[in-house]
Amino acid sequence: MSGGTADLRAITASVEGDAGVEHGALLVAFANAVQGDDDARLAATRRTLRAVLSPEAFVDACAIVGAFNVVDRIADATGIPLDPMLAAMTGDVRQELGLAGFRSSANTPGA
């Protein structure tokens, strides 16, 4: 939306800096902390994120992490495959990110 270029590899691999997204490294650290089991790490990351984002942006970040976690788990649990149109539209990005290496990619035959 800002017109900049984001390095999508930051989603699945370590990249230096913010990957072209304001506070990108911190947002990735927060998402990873939410998925982890270290409550102290999560609390510290949450405090740091709240210090640099507006309250509205912080709520948005939390909602995105939570929504992705829920939607992804529901899709995996029920075996919902990636539909053919979305598979075609996202092929380059999925390849760049190496998403076929994840176990849940088995739910997307031929993608």
Confidence of residue 4 (pLDDT cuts 50, 70, 90): confident
Sketch the domain layout of the chain as residue ranges: 1-80, 81-111
Question: Nearest-CA neighbor of 47 among 58, 38, 37, 56?
Answer: 58
The pTM of the full predicted model, rounded to 2 decimals, is 0.67
CA 29/CA 17 separation, integer angstroms? 12
Task: Look at the alpha carbons of 12, 13, 19, 22 in this order and tell me if their dihedral is positive or negative.
Answer: positive
- Model confidence pLDDT, tens digit, residues 48-85: 999 999 999 999 999 999 888 788 778 777 877 778 88
